[in-house]
Amino acid sequence: MSPVVAILLLFAGLSEAAGRLLPVVARLSGVSHTRVVGLMLAGAVIDGAVFALWPLSAWTLAELVLLTSPSDGAPLVWTPGLAAPLLLAAVLAFPLLGPLLHLVLMVGVGAGLAAALATVAGLGWWDAAGCVAVAGFGLGIAVEGVRRLVVRLNTTRAPEPLT
């Protein structure tokens, strides 16, 4: 992975984390800035890693669909042209700016990945799109599970009254 792609994925992860975390933080009072920055950076790394795994997961599913290794054996990787729209989609992750537009852009990014996967793996476009969609859905469920676990671990519980 080139340094440009790594930086794009990290910024996309930071933007996605900010879009998910800042609306929650805005509703809370008394949250320390250090904790928010720490959660944002951790979220950026996690979301960036999930974004980085998306083409590799789709490639693995394509290998399972083909039941053999694709022709040249070079896995699908992010290119700056494929990753740039992902950054825009992550910017639009803010819930008030349009979750539907965010979804449409993510589908567009997935379509770009599907076209690249179809070319590299020798699959039909619809088969490649299915691999990309299943990989994206699986990774989305995994990261949502991590988010919920982090929220559960970071919530403070009110002390029980002593009677």
pLDDT in tens, 9-43: 888 888 777 777 777 777 776 777 787 788 888 88
Q: State how far the Cα of 19 lies from the Cα of 60, in Å rounded to an integer.
A: 29
pLDDT tens per residue, range 110-120: 898 899 888 88
Nearest CA to 13 out of 113, 83, 115, 110 is that of 83
Q: Where are the domains of the chain?
A: 3-154
Residue 91 pLDDT > 70:
no
d(CA 20, CA 23): 7
| 62, 128 Cβ separation under 8 angstroms | yes
Q: State the Rg of the chain over Cα.
A: 18
- pLDDT exceeding 70 applies to what percent of the chain? 78
Taking the model in full, what pTM does it have? 0.77
Distances (CA, A) of 98 to 14, 16, 90, 116: 18, 13, 11, 27
Q: What is the mean pLDDT of residues 81-107?
A: 68
Amino acid at 106: M
Rounded Cα gap, residues 107 and 113, in angstroms: 10
pLDDT in tens, 53-70: 888 888 888 888 776 555
Mean pLDDT of 128-156: 84
